[in-house]
Structure 1
């Protein structure tokens, strides 16, 4: 039996059920891990959700949010991002911020694919950090890896 607990915080504003994707991916990557999911209305609610999940014993949290196209939406994301960074600093716990910006593409099918890819890849990143420790991603440093898009590739 494991003591690893993963937190998954998602929103009702998202247009793709990224929380479900994260839960399935984490379960596949670490079948012995426990997952606690917390769904909130929007991105500005994610920092408190992440903090509560950590207080409930989660070893790491993934937050999955969706940002609309307006300038106000972008400001809301900035506030949420600062909040998530603050939670990480307050708790010394990784909070992987997965965000889809509605204006990344006009193609809704492509936007869905970006959301799925980003949620899966970052869920795997969370598992590696929680299960395997701080050096788990070191071998991937400088590779130009991307979530949601083709990898950029390394330059050296």
Structure 2
């Protein structure tokens, strides 16, 4: 099994480096990294990692800016990632951190690092331990922020 990691030069934080660090910490799965210029380049890169480089899952990392055009591009990229998943029948874990999620650069770093690391763990669990994710169903997990917990009835 192999993990694909696709990231962008547009991001203000080296999200691919964080993903690789976390992957190395938690398992010994091989990985392929593919860096593209912008967020709308992620879908084809993810598809290529699956079809041409033999990846079983891909983590797609992006950091859209705060402007309306950035949000539109992120939405378009997200739709492309969904299409690539359906075309390849493989999971592509979208990990976007919008610059305006944070009040300052320190918080942006914290959100980014947390979200990337948690989604790397999710990707590995999807491949190696899907029952672990089943146990977390409905528990209000959040990547990048504290978990909110389940609604109890």
Measured against the shorter chain, the TM-score band is: over 0.9
Query: Counterparts in 2 of 1:37-56, with a 5 A limit?
Result: 37-55=33-51, 56=53
Cα distance between partner residues in 1 of 2:115 and 2:102: 14
Match of 2:94 in 1: 97
Cα distance between partner residues in 1 of 2:137 and 2:90: 20
- Unaligned runs of 5+ residues in structure 2 are none
1:72 equivalenced with 2:69 (yes/no): yes
Where 1:16 maps in the other structure, the secondary structure is coil
- Unaligned runs of 5+ residues in structure 1 are none
Tell me the CA shift for residue 136 of structure 1: 3.6
Tell me the CA shift for residue 29 of structure 1: 1.5
Match of 1:155 in 2: 151
Cα distance between partner residues in 1 of 2:8 and 2:101: 19
1:108 equivalenced with 2:105 (yes/no): yes
Where 2:63 maps in the other structure, the secondary structure is strand
Where 2:96 maps in the other structure, the secondary structure is strand
Tell me the CA shift for residue 155 of structure 1: 1.3
Q: TM-score, normalised by structure 1?
A: 0.94
Cα distance between partner residues in 1 of 2:115 and 2:94: 10
Extract structure 1 runs of 4+ deviating beyond 2 A. Answer: none
Match of 1:126 in 2: 123
Q: CA RMSD in A?
A: 0.9
Q: TM-score, normalised by structure 2?
A: 0.96
Tell me the CA shift for residue 24 of structure 1: 1.3
Match of 1:11 in 2: 8
Cα distance between partner residues in 2 of 1:146 and 1:136: 16
Match of 2:26 in 1: 29
User: How many equivalent residue pairs?
Assistant: 151
Where 2:139 maps in the other structure, the secondary structure is coil
